[in-house]
Amino acid sequence: MVTNEKKLYVTHEGLRRLEEELEYLRTVRRAEVAERIKRAKEFGDLSENAEYDEAKKEQAFVEGRIITLEKMLAHAQIIETKDTDSSIVSVGRTVRLLNLDTKQELEFTIVGSYEANPRENKISDDSPLGKELLGKRLHDFVRVKAPAGEFYYQIVNIK
């Protein structure tokens, strides 16, 4: 089967969270929403029943999220850094950069978009910086164009 779907890079922890959310939605949330719909139907006329409308909207959201998670899991690929060259930046690697303008060092872990969290210094492989870093080696220079301007970095460590 040929697919145009992009792989979703996740850590073992990220995969576990996806699977747990899917299981929760299938087993707990579906039943809760079905019960809300059942109770709302007991109020009578469905054409003017706000409780019923809200429950149906919630049901649509839950079912949509289940479909989304199933697709994500179907395209999930575990990040295995032990199988990759540690001298090249790849998804799953942590990279220390020297900002050539400010001389400040920054450290980021390159992750798939699902797990990206700038507060935890986890940047997506699809972000401008992530895209520029992929495939680079220790001591390479990187130029990143961002809305705030251009930034210049040197890779000082890859782990």
Model confidence pLDDT, tens digit, residues 90-107: 988 999 999 999 999 999
Per-residue pLDDT tens digits for 47-70: 777 888 899 999 999 999 999 999
**pLDDT level of residue 133 (50, 70, 90 thresholds):** very high
Give start and end residues of each alpha helix (H) in 25-77. Answer: 30-41, 50-74
Strands 76-78 and 8-10: parallel
CA–CA dist 74, 64 (Å, integer): 15
Query: What confidence tier does 2 reach under pLDDT thresholds 50, 70, 90?
Result: very low
Of the pLDDT bands very low, low, confident and very high (cuts 50, 70, 90), residue 79 is: confident
Give 7-51 pLDDT, tens digit per residue.
Answer: 888 888 889 999 999 999 999 999 999 999 998 888 777 677 788
By DSSP bridging, strand 105-111 and strand 94-99 are antiparallel
Place of tokens 């990279």: 95
- Which string of b and e fits 113-136 if b means at least 16 CB within 10 Å? ebbbeeeeebbbbebebbebbbeb
Count Cβ atoms within 10 A of the Cβ of residue 140 and give its class: 0-12 exposed, 13-18 middle, 19 or more buried. Answer: middle
pLDDT the model gives residue 117: 92
Q: Delineate the domains of the chain, giving CATH numbers in brackets.
A: 8-78 (1.10.287.180), 84-158 (3.10.50.30)
